Amino acid sequence: MNSWHSRPPLSDHAYQPEVAGPTQSSSSMPDIGEDSEWDTALVVTDEWMKVASERRHSGWESVERKWVENQALQQRGPKPPSEITKEASEAMARFPYPHMSIPTPQLDFDFRMRVILNPQSASVAVSDGFKKWSTFSDGTFAGRFGYGSVINGGQESQDVAYGNSAATQVEATHRLQTADEVPAYIECKTRGNMTGSPELVKALQDAETSREANPRLCPFRVFITMKTSDERYAAKLNTGLWIGSCLWKGLEVVYDAYRIS
């Protein structure tokens, strides 16, 4: 299947750094560094790398326009405070321990995962509609903790409509295999939803109609947890929690996972 990721190689100003991971010849691994059409660039930092949410480029008119608008808003100064509603005021009066300071969670870009769905799927009737069960035929991952392949797993999804919008609720389990000489196996679970117009949500999940659909118009967010009995990775993964920002186009789903600290 032809990948929907394709664009010229990154320039000298944004390049793919060497991913820290187990030592093994890259020739035995599938290509996990494919270029893509994402509206992002990989930026090297002292802490490995992060994903920049905006990249200025002469050909990206919408990004340029948004950047100029943001600059203009910053020059105008902060917005005047809005009036507090009655509901908000009542909630604040009942706020527990109002003088207590609790640490704010931080998000750090941790890994990217790409999976391919099998074209065949099964539908199961439930009390409130139908759920679709799909399996994965292929996949790769790479990040701070290592890299490897997605060797199997399944995904359960259900379409939900509300008003003029639709959502596809997704629960998936992936089995990851690291690229170590003696590989480790990791259970990766995701749960979340993709939202957008009913027509676009449906089009993105079809291999044919998705060719003309833009997945960036449908926000797709998931929670991610991982678990392994392998001592090399257990301390890194078993107590972690990630938020994933995803794109779903046809039979391909790509996750960017941000670890919560």
Total number of domains in the chain: 1
**pLDDT of amino acid 195:** 93
d(CA 63, CA 113): 25
**pLDDT of amino acid 123:** 78
**pLDDT of amino acid 63:** 58
58 domain residue, yes or no: no
132 domain residue, yes or no: yes
Identify any residues that bridge with 158 across adjacent strands, giving them in sequence order: 169
49 domain residue, yes or no: no
12 domain residue, yes or no: no
Signed CA dihedral, 148, 149, 154, 159: sign only: positive
Residue recorded with tokens 């099964």: 122
The radius of gyration of the chain's CA atoms, rounded to the nearest angstrom, is: 21
232 domain residue, yes or no: yes
Q: Phi then psi for 201, rounded to 5 degrees?
A: -60, -45
82 domain residue, yes or no: no
70 domain residue, yes or no: no
Domain of residue 158 covers 107-260
Ranges in the chain, pLDDT < 70: 1-65, 67, 74-75, 77-81, 126-129
201 domain residue, yes or no: yes
Q: What is the pLDDT of residues 49-67, one digit of tens each?
A: 555 544 444 445 565 667 6
Q: Phi then psi for 69, rounded to 5 degrees?
A: -65, -40
For the domain that residue 142 is a member of, what is the CATH number?
2.40.160.20
**pLDDT of amino acid 119:** 85
Q: Phi then psi for 59, rounded to 5 degrees?
A: -90, -5
